[in-house]
A and B are shown apart, each in its own frame.
Chain A
Amino acid sequence: MNDATGAADARAQATEADNAAQILDERYRPYSGARHGLAGAMRALDGSSVRFTLGLGRPARHKFLPWLAVVVALVPAIVFVGIATVLDIDLISENILPEYHQYYGFIELALFFFCGIVVPEILVADRRNGMLSLYLSTPLRLWSYLASKAAAVTVTLAVITVGPLLFLLVAYTVEGSGPDGLGDWLTVLVRILGSGIAIAATITAASLAISSLTDRRAFAVIGIILLLLGSQFVTGLLVEVAEMDPRIYAFNLSEMSEALKDRIFGVGPPELGEDDASPGLRISELSTLFVVAVNAAWLVAGSAVVWWRYRRIEAG
């Protein structure tokens, strides 16, 4: 009886083992499963470009700069939340901690750093090593290739523009200094997402436009830094010193994207004395329609330059 039971158990175990067995090493064989087409191709390129931008799956030297930018953007938020937690007071209302829209000042450095150093590589590398021609032999077309790359940069930049603010929102809420009620909370959330994505998209378009114009990464880096910092200096000089029309700030990408953020957050002009002159004060003279139009123009112009440049590369 015991023998029979034992044999039955052994057979059951063997059957179970057979059912669980898998052939893992099938070697090359035909594939008849699903194919994801253009959408799958774009997802694959988008995902790999995000990983590439952040240095994931690449040697350590490629991880350092992008993650440094993320840390630079996030550390002040962590410090402020730490202060709020330790001091246990309503710090936002006491103007000790920055409000959400004011945190952009801390992000700006990381954003410039990221755009200047990291973004050029995402387009330049594919042209330099020939991967572009290989990508175009797949279901990807020029527009889908560029859209995937732009989406990857925008998503990565949004980590910097949106991530720290979301962290602040959640932390302030948990600590008890957040917005009052669900409605206000959602309003702040939408403003954080809207401003962060808008800033990321505009700066992405401009950065990619410059990166598309040269195969030399160093030239692209210099071009982007000149665009972001040089334009600040020149337009500031023209408007504040030469007292020219503040609409010249339309050529100042970083100030205009910051102005868009302020309009999204409903922030008015800074409270300064009559003698004070600052970009914030003069830009506040510009209409919201003008600010939105200028940001849209940067986005469209940047995209148009990239498209024009790649059409020339494709034809050549």
Chain B
Amino acid sequence: MNDAAAAGTVLVSTAALTQRFGSTVALDALDIQMRPGVTGLVGANGAGKTTLLNALLGLRPPTSGSATVLGLDPRSQGAALRAKVGFAPERDVLPDEMRAVDFVRHLAQVRGLPRSEARTRASDSLWLVGLGEERTRTLGTMSTGQRQRVKLAQAVASDPELVLLDEPTSGLDPTQRTEMLTLIGEISNEHSVSVVLSSHLLEEVERVCDHIVALDAGRLVADGPIAELVGDGEGITLELVDIVEPAGTVEAVESSLRSAGIDVQRTGTVLRLGGAGRDELSDRARDAVADAGARIRRLEARQRTLADLFEASAT
């Protein structure tokens, strides 16, 4: 039985984990659990994501509270823990003069692999991230996207049970970002490597992660399976075309819906409707639009997003 299994499929757990820097509270009594799969660690810059990753790696002892990663205590069993965990920092840490394959091999050796195995796995990892043909190039000649892939390759080369990726899409264009996220999903799904993906971009976390841990100024905003936190929400969104003739159609629709007992939140030509079942809301919206002579641009079931979680946390 491996350590993760021994811990009951909880890879990472923290209890009242707190990290202070002087008067600044970087992590505020976090109680979180991360399970196998891809976990998104999401929050704005300065939310405490990197601080949390450092605490999980045992690089900085917490001010108070505790953490367990793969069944190990980062404070007292840090070296054993870090041998099982791959890490790719946000910062560009690649020495320009080194060849990609030498860099990945070296880090695999430092993480404990024998020399011959490290050499083989360095090539395999670079093939995995799509840099097989480029593996003998020096790092200084590589593009930002390729360098991010090299960082990913070094993180997975030693076959870790868990990989911590700090902003792995930083500096990438949309196409490269999509490719990187797809790659991270493949590594987790096809090779059973659990990933903690730190990002400040809600959209990319929603796209690839199974679970999320959302932080805001060091506080826990949400923690759980992404399917439970985002997706179909209550109500519908009605967006109307802003027409001149007849005038005041948007206001007329809003008024009609309110008089029918529907909850309406209006932002310009967008009306968020609630307070009733979706079918009834749709029927009422259709009737109100027809009566007012308005025109519909969009009518859809409302999706709950991570942004909603952060908004709810802020209010």
Contact = CB atoms under 8 A, between A and B. Distances in A.
Nearest to A39: B112
A312 interface: no
A216 B120 CA distance: 36
A76 B78 CA distance: 50
B117 A41 contact: no
B192 to A, nearest CB: 8
Interface stretch (A28-36, A107-115, A303-311): A28-36
Contact of B110 (A57, A130, A138): A138
A40 B109 contact: yes
Contacts of A27: 124, 127-128
Contacts of B115: 44
Interface in B103-146: 106-107, 109-115, 117, 120-121, 124-125, 127-128
B59 A36 contact: no
A38 interface: yes
A30 B106 CA distance: 19
A146 to B, nearest CB: 15
Contacts of B93: 129-131, 133-134
Interface stretch (B94-102, B174-182, B225-233): B94-102
B79 interface: yes
B184 to A, nearest CB: 14
Contact of B114 (A33, A41, A45): A33
B191 interface: yes
Nearest to A45: B110
Contacts of A59: 97
Nearest to A139: B79
B121 A138 contact: no
A26 interface: yes
Nearest to B106: A48
Nearest to A125: B95
B238 to A, nearest CB: 49
A62 interface: yes
B222 interface: no
B156 interface: yes
Contacts of A37: 79-80, 83, 112
Interface residues of B, number: 42
B272 interface: no
B23 to A, nearest CB: 17
B79 A38 contact: yes
A35 B83 contact: yes
Nearest to B120: A26
Contacts of A229: none
A135 interface: yes
A140 B111 CA distance: 8
**Of listed A59, A139, A140, residue having the most chain B CB within 10 A:** A139
A141 interface: yes
Nearest to A35: B112
Interface stretch (B40-48, B84-92, B252-260, B295-303): B84-92
B87 A137 contact: yes
A11 interface: no
A138 B118 CA distance: 15
Given A27-B127, A133-B89, A41 B111 contact: yes
Given A33-B117, A130-B92, A138 B107 contact: yes
A258 to B, nearest CB: 36
Contacts of B82: 137-139
Nearest to A33: B117
B36 to A, nearest CB: 15
B159 interface: yes
Interface string B263-300: 00000000000000000000000000000000000000
B114 A141 contact: no
B138 to A, nearest CB: 9
A54 to B, nearest CB: 14
Nearest to B127: A27
B249 interface: no
B95 A134 contact: no
Contacts of A38: 79
Contact of A57 (B78, B102, B128): B102
Interface string A10-51: 000000000000000011111101111110110011001000
A58 B97 contact: yes
A27 B191 CA distance: 11
A130 B156 contact: no
A140 B106 CA distance: 13
A134 B108 CA distance: 12
A139 B91 CA distance: 20
B57 interface: yes
Contacts of A45: 110
Query: Which 7 A/B pairs are nearest by Cβ-Cβ distance?
Result: A130-B93, A44-B109, A35-B112, A31-B159, A137-B87, A28-B128, A139-B79
Given A26-B124, A137-B87, 18 more contacts: A26-B120, A34-B114, A35-B112, A40-B114, A41-B110, A41-B111, A44-B115, A57-B98, A134-B87, A134-B107, A134-B154, A136-B59, A137-B57, A137-B89, A138-B82, A139-B80, A139-B110, A140-B79
30 contacts: A26-B120, A28-B121, A28-B128, A30-B192, A31-B159, A34-B114, A35-B112, A36-B112, A37-B79, A37-B112, A40-B113, A40-B114, A41-B109, A44-B106, A44-B110, A57-B99, A57-B102, A59-B97, A62-B97, A129-B96, A130-B89, A131-B93, A137-B59, A137-B87, A137-B89, A138-B107, A139-B83, A139-B110, A139-B112, A141-B79
